[in-house]
Structure 1
Amino acid sequence: MTDQTDRIFAGFDPIRYEGPDSDNPLAYRFYDPEREVLGVKMKDQLRLAVCYWHSFAWAGHDIFGAGTFNRPWQPTQPATEALAENKLINAFDFLERLGVPYFCFHDVDAMAAASTADEHRRHLAAIVERMEERMAATGVKLLWGTANLFSHPRYAAGAATSPSPEVFAWAAFQVREMLEATHRLGGANYVLWGGREGYDTILNTDLPREMDQLGRFLSMVVEHKHKIGFGGPILVEPKPHEPAKHQYDRDVATVYGFLRRYGLEKEVKVNIEANHATLAGNSFEHEIATATAYGIFGSIDINRGDPQNGWDTDQFPNDIPGLTLALLYILKGGGIGQGGFNFDAKVRRQSVDPVDLFHGHIGGIDVLAKALLNAEAIIGDGRLDRFVGDRYAGWSEDFGKRASQSSLAELADHVVESGIDPRPQSGRQEYLENLVNRFAG
């Protein structure tokens, strides 16, 4: 059993809402869980989650240096069953005090290390049983589960896209076990992140074969979901590169095209990460709006990158104006639904104290809450929606309705016969940016 001295978060009081005037760094200034935003409680508009991997499984290492975090569950060492339980108890201590309703995890984040398939099954089942107990005791729920198909050396050339059918089979084994564990824990969604589903050089890659393998693998996951009665959506998480040079799920539009090709667009949605969106050269709000337009919006991994770095830095969000737009398009698209905002973010390598983990999450949660309130105000004001509606109003008029159903020749003849001579109209970009900035402070 974990002794009280090993529980590094046990001495912290629960984090409470104290309002915008609070100076307490361990209090929420904007996140008021019970406050209604557009008729829905803030906690239900955001559905906040803490990720197990960065918060509890990362040791504070990077490619140039060893881990800096001194945690009693020893994340620098292969996890024994005792260390896995120690990590679990500490994780739920943190979740309870932070006051978030959800968490997310990969299989290997939480379980004891395994060297065989049989060990993997037993160790995962053991920690899932303990998770069930902690979830029942605390009321914390699982937003989604996923299998780590990228860290082990066997996945160096990919998992579903591996040139080895044995690796493909191992990946299927891991996903089956974790999908069934997610179902057992009442998870709301299941995520597939294809970190190595791509290539480092096209010279050794049979690209059509790999695409077909990935399509078949995803179809197998959907088939098994229905077989076991898992009711949540399967989510794919787009990312353009890193660790692979090129990944097949580079952004939302690419994923949608892939899903259409393999007949999965009605079965699979996307889990959009802010940092992945910017790595792909897109804005976060663009990815959200695109997913909503295609009907595949699922959930959010919330973080940010550093514009001076070309990789996935996974920092806590701090851009209120930028996230105001993201929340605006989520609300306009119908809300977060069965998804949520998972903090796929890690404290910096020098942030070695337990309190730093609270500071990172509290700040990120307050940024999201303030952005949500800003988005509510923009929607309530109505001017942005009215402007966009007016800009496209011609399509609701007689000629617009005819144009949308005419042939190319009919439209061309109309231009010749009517003598129409369209002129540019201002898009009022500067006005609209000024308008949004009035609310996004």
Structure 2
Amino acid sequence: MSDFFQGIAPVKYEGPDSANPLAFRYYDRDRLVLGKRMEDQLRFAVAYWHSFAWEGGDPFGGRTFLRPWFDGGMEAARLKAEVCFEMLDILDAPFFTFHDRDVAPEGQSLAESNRNLREITDIFGELMEKTGKKLLWGTANLFSNRRYMSGAATNPDPEVFAYAAGQVRAALDATHRLGGANYVLWGGREGYETLLNTDMERELEQLGRFLSLVVDYKHRVGFQGTIMIEPKPQEPTKHQYDYDVASVYGFLRRFELEKEVKVNIEVGHAVLAGHSFEHEIALASALGIFGSVDANRNDYQSGWDTDQFPNNHPEMTLGMYQILKAGGFYDGGFNFDSKLRRQSLDPEDLIAAHVGGMDVCARALLSAAALIEDGSFDRALADRYAGWDDTEARNMLGGDADLGAIADWVETEGIEPEPRSGKQEMLENLVNRFV
């Protein structure tokens, strides 16, 4: 064992009255919520990149964190893996997630980089067998290296497209070998800075071809997990092709991949796209592509993706309500794509941040479950759309009535619709009863 978290005991559930900053007040993993253990409802994962690879920099300053595994090659990568699993044990978190470049250093060639990844994959396998921890999803970093400055799959250089394919194959192989529940494609630079040098039609075709290749390879090697895309509207590019859930769905339909690929929705990305978190979940559910969640929040006074740990209970409750109404997670979960503030230097800060995030999600789960069990929302929704249960209304949607027949029905019956209240304020007040 390392000594990075020396003196920090495993986090325990102590209940809502606890004042211990390193104790759970709401996350009680074995508590049943709507018939499932809380751990199984939430499926928490620690994100390798923000927790162990991020150095605390920002656009105006560099590294603030001093971690013993920084700048140390493969020996440091092995230490980092050990520390990660120690943290999973302290938090009793069941899953982790990673990018390939988070866990193993990039070599002088793709072949060397892939060998490094395979070596760390072996170490992960041993640690997973020893601890019982699991991989929620893996992915490839196709955005940090300068070769990807103009995108990966959408790059104007075919050699970059090919290099990205080689990198994704290795990352998907590692995910498959570790029994990952999903594989995520995060298009950090799949967009454009200016249309003056961009052939958008060509780039979309390249991106569709790349995703099709990934899906084909998944089936060829027998990977049983779900392929996901993470929508993101901007930052660092001016416009990204995977702008939001609706954009991703249209893209998937165009390339006939809507039955193969789902979405990993991030709270902060939803906000940057001008949506709410619950909107993106509800839409993904309606379209049949809801998969998983990156749990975080943005600073609403900033236009940047600040990736702060979730601490907004009402915001998370509305998102959780939509997740539960969608049937909950199948193979997705709550991944903490969240990072410490650059002034939060201590190992204890890393534990406290996750404790707070896990508690907010657990509290939101309890609130959302109470809303569902109360039934008031369901009754209000059923009442608002009750008219569509009538025979004439069903005929309008079912194809038995054409436009002319519908118009004749209105005229013959002398129908004059009378608007009804949407009761928004009453429903908002209802939410506040449970949060």
The normalised TM-score by structure 1 is: 0.97
Paired residue for 2:202? 209
Paired residue for 2:54? 58
1:197 counterpart = 2:190: yes
Deviation, 1:113, is 2.9
Q: Distance between the aligned counterparts of 1:114 and 1:409, measured in 2?
A: 68
Q: Distance between the aligned counterparts of 1:432 and 1:226, measured in 2?
A: 45
SS at structure 1 position matched to 2:89: helix
Deviation, 1:403, is 2.1
Alignment of 1:323-362 (within 5 A): 323-362=316-355
Q: Distance between the aligned counterparts of 2:164 and 2:88, measured in 1?
A: 30
1:54-87 CA distance string (max 9 Å, x none): 000001111110111111112xx3x411110111
Contact 1:145–1:179 (Cα < 8 Å) also in 2: yes
Q: Distance between the aligned counterparts of 1:70 and 1:149, measured in 2?
A: 26
Alignment of 1:14-413 (within 5 A): 14-74=10-70, 77=71, 79-404=72-397, 405=399, 406-413=401-408
Residue 257 of structure 1 aligns with an amino acid whose one-letter code is G
Residue 418 of structure 1 aligns with an amino acid whose one-letter code is E
1:280-309 CA distance string (max 9 Å, x none): 000000000000000000000000001111
Residue 98 of structure 1 aligns with an amino acid whose one-letter code is L
SS at structure 2 position matched to 1:151: coil
SS at structure 1 position matched to 2:83: helix
Residue 320 of structure 2 aligns with an amino acid whose one-letter code is L
- Identify which of 420, 423, 426 aligns with 2:418: 423
Residue 71 of structure 1 aligns with an amino acid whose one-letter code is R
Contact 1:7–1:89 (Cα < 8 Å) also in 2: no
- Identify which of 3, 7, 12 aligns with 2:3: 7
Q: What is the aligned residue count?
A: 433
Q: Distance between the aligned counterparts of 1:84 and 1:112, measured in 2?
A: 7
Q: Distance between the aligned counterparts of 2:411 and 2:378, measured in 1?
A: 34
1:87-122 CA distance string (max 9 Å, x none): 111111111111100000000000133120121121
Deviation, 1:35, is 0.2
Deviation, 1:311, is 1.1
Would you identify which runs of 4 or more consecutive aligned residues in structure 1 move more than 4 Å?
A: none
Q: State the superposition RMSD in angstroms.
A: 0.8
Residue 428 of structure 1 aligns with an amino acid whose one-letter code is K
SS at structure 1 position matched to 2:122: helix
Q: Distance between the aligned counterparts of 1:220 and 1:113, measured in 2?
A: 24
Contact 1:161–1:210 (Cα < 8 Å) also in 2: yes
SS at structure 1 position matched to 2:184: strand
Residue 24 of structure 2 aligns with an amino acid whose one-letter code is Y
Paired residue for 1:434? 429
Residue 145 of structure 2 aligns with an amino acid whose one-letter code is H
Contact 1:10–1:93 (Cα < 8 Å) also in 2: no
Q: Distance between the aligned counterparts of 1:179 and 1:326, measured in 2?
A: 29
Residue 118 of structure 2 aligns with an amino acid whose one-letter code is A
Q: Please, which moves more after superposition, 183-192 or 87-96?
A: 87-96
1:249-274 CA distance string (max 9 Å, x none): 00001100000000000000000000
Consecutive unaligned residues in structure 2, runs of 5 or more: none
Contact 1:199–1:247 (Cα < 8 Å) also in 2: yes
Contact 1:108–1:147 (Cα < 8 Å) also in 2: yes
SS at structure 2 position matched to 1:17: coil
SS at structure 2 position matched to 1:316: coil
1:324-345 CA distance string (max 9 Å, x none): 1101010001001110000000
Consecutive unaligned residues in structure 1, runs of 5 or more: none
SS at structure 2 position matched to 1:28: coil
Contact 1:157–1:199 (Cα < 8 Å) also in 2: yes
Percent same amino acid at aligned positions?
A: 60
